A and B are shown apart, each in its own frame.
Chain A
Amino acid sequence: MTLSMLTPAFTVGRNEERCIRCGVCVNQCINEVHHLDEDGFMWVTDKNCVGCHRCAVLCPTQALAITEFPLAFRPNNYWSSASLREIYAQAETGGVLLTGMGNPRPYRSYFDHLLLNASQVTNPSIDPLREPMELTTYLGNQAAMLGEREKPLLKLEVPVMFSAMSYGAVSLNVQKSLARAAREMATFWNTGEGGLHSDLKEYADSTIVQVASGRFGVTPDYLNNAAAVEIKIGQGAKPGIGGHLPAEKVSADVAKTRMIPAWSDAISPAPHHDIYSIEDLAQLIETLKVATNYQKPVSVKVAAVHNISAIASGMVRAGADIVAIDGFRGATGAAPMRIRDNIGIPIEMAIAQVDQRLRDEGIRQSVSLVAAGGIRNSADVVKILALGADAVYIGTAALIALGCHLCQTCFTGRCNWGIATTDRQLSKRLNPEIGAIRAINLLKAWEHEIKEMMGGMGINAVDSLRGNRLMLKGIGLEQHELELLGVTAAGD
């Protein structure tokens, strides 16, 4: 074996005065960082640590501290330690670097360069505690002409839905938690492309089912056991490439749900091979509408890419009732690092541009826009609605609510938090009843914050916030960026 030049990413420090040798850390770490030998000595293998904090959070005496491995490269503003380590890894294996979750690079976040308005004197602000505040949102084609067939709509009591995360990429307990929370909060969760597990059929009215190129588990029952159907074209974390669930995560139960053999790869390449054009997309949309008796809105999800406004216009003309756009901060269970970190555009720009384009073309009423990819908090929600979205999808934020610590190693299937795993034992670490409560708490907190921010602006219905860019001011942005976002500068 040749020498590996990769040094550990983290170091695990143990306060010996506090450690009681209880062995919780040993049992909790699937990566075998901790080891208690028969003489009572605790051993640590730093190189196995992914920085997920499971041991430190569960340690009863707070004896553990996880820090960056203190091995400093000579300071270099161009070659970061990460760029060296990535090259070492590739030189050792010859492989495409695989990673998880969303783009962590320091690109500009437009959310952090937008400020919201509030009423003072001339227009009273509204206190959501004493006055009704309307967040009810309908998604779908609302441009029906007189005499036309009534179009199906999704009704959300809070304009926040849970992003597509397939069973296989995440554990069944994640889906159970989010499905329960969606039903309780009168919003929707999304199956992702991995089929619908039989335990989740009772949540049909709160479920959006996804159809991706692999068509896993897609049957007439699947399509009809849902409130809406979503065609997945692309994903913000990996625009232009498809999905690949490695065989290690395809357990018997995952296989049953996807209707494929167990322990075999589940591959869904980038194009749907029955969609090579907008005309083909129109046909799959219509096929799904026929198969579901025109009872369900059809959503089409794409990644935010350079030419997104023209693409979105085509999707609307192809009959999409909902266009979901996933920005470049969108997360994934597994993606090549170079793709995750270098492809796509920010969701703020994409929504601003698409909303404007659809208005200019007079087709904005025929579709609802759902923004996804990097929505971190309720202020991000309010800002993206003001930029033109009807609702948002949250994925990363929802997983963090369930315990995710963003260690970005979802692709290993060894998630100590029971989230990005299909291992039976690990999955049990996430109790779906507690998970549901945590997800509900998050949505309730955001709902209240959204109402407070809206009230401050003197707005009492989310309909008056949507696309209301007068409520936004840019700070620290160039003139052209302001124009693209359709906002003016703070102070202007």
Chain B
Amino acid sequence: MAVFDAVDYDQHSLLEALKASPDQEIEVLNLNGHRYLGCGWKNSKRLVLRGTAGNNLGAFADGPTILLYGNGQEGVGNTMSDGEIVVYGRVGDIAGYGMRGGGLYIRDDAGYRLGIHMKAYQDKRPVIVVGGQAGAFVGEYMAGGTIIVLGVNGSNRSLIGPYCGTGMYEGEIYMRGEVPRRHLAENTKTEVLHGEKDLQSILPYLMRFAAHFSYDIDLILAEPFTRLTAVDKRIFSHMYTGFTG
């Protein structure tokens, strides 16, 4: 395993050093806002990061496992194709933007615009699990995949911010607990699910979250979940009149 101390590197030289490393497992210590780590990586490497990762961590990534012991900034997992990012801390805005595969597990909170434009295709089923809360615009324009917001970290903040699911037309958002309707977009419907049996389809994700962050799965399943989906899958189809004259 190669170990790099980020103190010795600036933004660009750290990326060059990581790229040049032949090791399958790489650890970086003392990260201090270095950006674009793991960006565009198409491999099965394991990247262990300690400190604060800068913007667009794992953007366009296709396969690597990234463990971040610390907080992430904006754009974690931006347009990610495959792989897994596990954050032992919180992340900023637009995490998982346009994500089309792989998993993004966040122990604490996520900022605004979580999982916007997330989409699924065949075996590509992206999933985001947030242990704490998420800000406004969760799953805006969502076109597939799964977002789960658990609120298990004991914060008093609202589970999600307003405008959740705006413009959404595919995919599912699960929120642990009750969510005020005023925070949910018009074109969405909710149902309340209880326990392991109702939550069969997302149980593997919940188990994985529990394993990553040492939570008791029974504790997570103890509360009911609200499942949010789109009512009309063709939200814009009634808006237009084709003018052929």
Residues of A within 8 A of B35 (CB): 283, 286
User: Known contacts A274-B94, A283-B75; is A95 also within 8 Å of B241 by CB?
Assistant: yes
User: Which of B62, B100, B117, B243 meets A337, CB within 8 Å?
Assistant: B243
A219 to B169, CA, bound (A): 22
Q: Does B133 contact A (CB under 8 A)?
A: no
Q: Per-residue CB proximity of A82-126 to B under 8 Å, as 1/0? A: 000110011011111111000000000000000000000000000
Q: Provided the pairs A89-B245, A409-B242 are in contact, do residues A291 and B60 lie with their beta carbons within 8 angstroms?
A: yes
A29 within 8 A of B: no
CB-contact partner of A260 in B59, B75, B144, B239, under 8 A: B144
Taking a contact as CB atoms under 8 Å apart, the answer to whether B40 and A223 are in contact is: yes
How many A-B contacts if CB must be within 8 Å? 135
**Are the CB atoms of B244 and A50 closer together than 8 Å?**
yes
Closest to A266 in B: B143
Residue of chain A at shortest CB distance from B12: A290
Shortest distance in angstroms between A266's beta carbon and chain B's nearest beta carbon? 8
Query: A261–B97 contact, CB under 8 A?
Result: no
Alpha-carbon distance between A89 and B19 when the two chains are bound, in angstroms: 59
Please pick, from B41, B116, B119, B244, the residue contacting A9 in the complex, using a CB distance under 8 A. Answer: B244
Asked if B81 CB lies within 8 Å of chain A CBs, one says yes
Instruction: Give chain B nearest CB distance to A316 CB in angstroms.
Output: 20
Complexed CA–CA distance, A290 and B119 (Å): 24
Stretch of B44-52, B149-157, B189-197, B230-238 at the chain-chain interface: B230-238
Contacts of A260 in B (CB 8 A): 119, 121, 143-144
**Residue in B19, B167, B239 whose beta carbon sits within 8 Å of that of A95 in the complex:** B239
CB pair B236–A261 under 8 Å, yes or no, is: no
B interface majority secondary structure:
loop
Residues of A within 8 A of B243 (CB): 86, 89, 97-99, 337
**B79 in the interface (beta carbon within 8 A):** yes
Contact B42 A221, beta carbon cutoff 8 Å: yes
Distance (Å) between the CB of A51 and the closest chain B CB? Answer: 9
Is A265's CB within 8 Å of the partner chain B?
Answer: yes
The answer to whether A274 and B78 touch across the interface, beta carbons within 8 angstroms, is yes
| Complex interface residues of chain A between 13 and 34 (CB less than 8 A to chain B) | none
Q: Is A259 an interface residue (CB 8 A)?
A: yes
Asked whether any CB of chain B lies closer than 8 Å to the CB of A428, the reply is: no
Q: How large is the interface on A (under 10, 10 to 19, 20 to 34, 35 or more residues)?
A: 35 or more
B120 on the A face (CB < 8 A): yes
**Closest beta carbon of chain A to B77's beta carbon, Å:** 11
- Nearest B residue to A220 by beta-carbon distance? B42
Return the CB mask of B59-85 against A: 1 if under 8 Å, else 0: 111100000000000110011010000
CA distance A67 to B5 in the complex (A): 75
Neighbouring B residues of A99 by C-beta, 8 Å:
242-243
* Docked complex Cα distance between A261 and B233 (Å): 12
* B167 pairs with A264, CB closer than 8 A: no
Chain A residue contacts of B97, Cβ below 8 A: 215, 273-274
Q: How far is the CA of A220 from the CA of B235 in the complex (A)?
A: 31
Q: Is the CB of B240 within 8 A of A96?
A: yes
- A218 interfacial by beta-carbon distance below 8 Å: yes
Contact partners of A269 in chain B: CB under 8 A: 141, 167
**Which residues of chain A come closer than 8 Å to B167, judged between CB atoms?**
267, 269
Candidate in A9, A221, A287 with the most chain B CB atoms within 10 angstroms: A287
Q: Do B242 and A261 touch across chains, with their CB atoms under 8 A apart?
A: no
Please, how many angstroms separate the alpha-carbon atoms of A111 and B61 in the complex? 45
Partner of B60, one of A96, A220, A246, A336: A220
Residues of B within 8 A of A89 (CB): 241, 243, 245
Complex: A89 Cα to B240 Cα, angstroms? 11
Question: What A residues does B172 contact at CB under 8 A?
Answer: none
Which applies to chain A's interface (DSSP): helix, strand, loop or mixed?
Answer: mixed
> Hey, which chain B residues are within 8 Å of A221, CB to CB?
42, 62
- With A90-B241, A267-B236 already in contact, the answer to whether A287 and B144 are too (CB < 8 A) is no
Q: Is B185 an interface residue (CB 8 A)?
A: no
Whether B39 is near chain A, meaning CB under 8 Å from some CB there, is yes
Query: When the two chains form their complex, are residues A219 and B60 in contact, meaning their CB atoms are under 8 A apart?
Result: yes
Q: Is A213 an interface residue (CB 8 A)?
A: yes
Inter-chain contacts of B119 with A (CB < 8 A): 259-260
Give CA–CA (A50, B116) in the complex, Å.
38
Residues on B with beta carbons closer than 8 Å to the beta carbon of A273: 94, 97, 113, 116-117, 137, 140
Identify B233's interface contact among A97, A244, A264, CB under 8 A. A264
Asked if A290 and B140 make an inter-chain contact with CB atoms under 8 angstroms apart, the answer reads no
Residue of A nearest to B113 (CB): A273
Q: Are A287 and B36 in contact (CB under 8 A)?
A: yes
Name the CB-closest residue of B to A258. B121
With A220-B62, A273-B116 as contacts: A261 and B244 at CB distance below 8 Å: no
CB neighbours of A223 from chain B (8 A) = 40, 60
The reply to whether B237 and A246 contact each other, CB–CB distance below 8 Å, is yes
Chain A residues within 8 Å of B, Cβ to Cβ:
6, 8-9, 50, 85-86, 89-90, 92-99, 213-215, 218-221, 223, 244, 246-247, 255-256, 259-261, 264-265, 267, 269, 273-274, 283, 286-287, 290-293, 336-337, 409, 411-412
A selection of 30 A-B contacts at a CB cut-off of 8 Å is A89-B243, A89-B245, A96-B239, A97-B243, A99-B242, A214-B117, A215-B97, A215-B98, A220-B41, A220-B60, A223-B40, A223-B60, A247-B237, A256-B121, A260-B119, A261-B170, A264-B170, A265-B233, A265-B237, A267-B143, A267-B167, A267-B236, A269-B167, A273-B117, A274-B74, A274-B94, A286-B36, A287-B36, A287-B78, A291-B59
Interchain residue pairs A-B with the least CB separation, the first 3: A291-B40, A95-B241, A215-B98
